[in-house]
Amino acid sequence: MIKDYTKDLESEDYLLPSTKGGHIEVNMVYQMFQKVAKLLGRDDIGTHTLRKTFGYHLLQENQRRGHTDGNTRSQQRENNKTLYWDQ
């Protein structure tokens, strides 16, 4: 399903574009998660859950690849944004 959705996207395209063009706002992502959670009858999922799950799977993948300390990326704060790059 995801492959079908993304097959025609260019690398610079937004995965979830707004209806007005450009990217969607953070609160829209939150609202979308709330609607889906309600449809599923769940109250234990949300945007923070997605972040935690992504972090968990990233950690598992790094360990699988032989990284032992999990500190495989550098970060820098700039203009209130965190920038990451591989070491």
What pLDDT digit, counting tens, does each position of 28-73 carry?
A: 888 988 999 999 999 888 888 888 888 888 888 877 766 555 555 5
Number of separate domains in the chain: 1
Is residue 77 a part of any domain in this protein? no
Residue 71 pairs in a beta bridge with none
Is residue 55 a part of any domain in this protein? yes
Is residue 73 a part of any domain in this protein? no
Q: What is the pLDDT of residues 16-32, one digit of tens each?
A: 888 888 888 888 888 98
Is residue 81 a part of any domain in this protein? no
Q: How far is CA 87 from CA 39, 49, 71, 84, in A?
A: 42, 27, 9, 9
Question: For residue 50, what are the contacts with CB-CB under 8 A and spacing of at least 6?
Answer: 33
Q: How far is CA 40 from CA 31, 34, 77, in A?
A: 14, 10, 37
CB 28, CB 18: distance < 8 Å: yes
Residue 74 pairs in a beta bridge with 85
